[in-house]
Amino acid sequence: RGGRGRGGGAAKAPREARWHAPGGGEALSDDDSACSEGEAARRPSLAIKLGMWDLGQCDKRRCTGTKLMRAGMVRELRIGQGYRGLVLSPNGTKCVSGEDYELLSAGAGLAVVDCSWARLDEVPFRQIKGTPRLLPFLLASNPVNYGRPATLSCAEALAAALYIAGHREDAAAVMSKFTWGDSFFALNGPALDEYAACATAEDVLATQERFMREGIAGGIEEQLRNLDLPPSSSESEQETDDDNEQLEGKGEESSGAKSSADTE
């Protein structure tokens, strides 16, 4: 989340894992047309190698993972090929955590499965090689599933895993490709900070359980009322075709990453 792995040695994620809005860097245009040389020069340079298995279930014009591939931030992987990095997958038995910091830093990489939420049963997860990991409880910020738990897009799943494992700059760079990207950190900032401060996967799970026990999950509606909601799907389509990740006839985009909150 193919064999199980422990994700490196002792956790050495940065001590000050505090959330901040990913400003300061240049947020790239949402225009998916070919980049000019100037635009290419402004592409964020990622420290972690990102990959994606594209199962062709989503509309490529609106898929967040496909957009990241076009931007040169994610490379496409093939089903069955060897992969030694972390894979966000329902087959995971432990959450991504600070334990994975060294593994990612050593060049192992991080990958996600691009598929449809409506067709998860068709995904050959057991043929996808790598070290599987789960994500803890988080909220989606994409226009289709805004505010809904455990329905992250590919970009959100990658950003969440990077942040929790101690690679905040890469997480911000990934979300900078989307005009709604800041919403992901606004919705999940406190939770991401606490998850990132955890030394082990067990600590992440305990933190998630505490969130649930203290009613943080139950207070989501109040949190959402205090935030500006993104435009509706119809409004988004009129304003910009790229920001609306609604998939026409192919189901909503899924990262294939299952939350550990759904495994209990």
pLDDT band at 32 (very low <50, low <70, confident <90, very high): very low
pLDDT score at 44? 59
Dump pLDDT digits (tens) for 167-180. 999 999 999 999 99
The set of residues, in sequence order, having a beta carbon less than 8 Å from that of 99 and lying 6+ positions away, is: 6, 7, 8, 9, 10, 11, 199, 200, 201
pLDDT score at 165? 98
pLDDT score at 212? 83
- Tell me the H-state helices in the chain: 37-41, 64-70, 101-105, 154-164, 168-175, 181-196, 201-213, 220-225, 233-239
Residue 108 clears pLDDT 50, i.e. is over it: yes
Dump pLDDT digits (tens) for 191-230. 999 999 999 999 999 999 998 888 655 455 455 555 554 4
- Domain limits of the chain? 37-262
Mean pLDDT (the chain, rounded): 72
Dump pLDDT digits (tens) for 36-53. 344 444 555 899 999 998
pLDDT score at 58? 62
Taking the whole predicted model, whether its pTM rises above 0.75 is answered as no
Residue 120 clears pLDDT 80, i.e. is over it: no
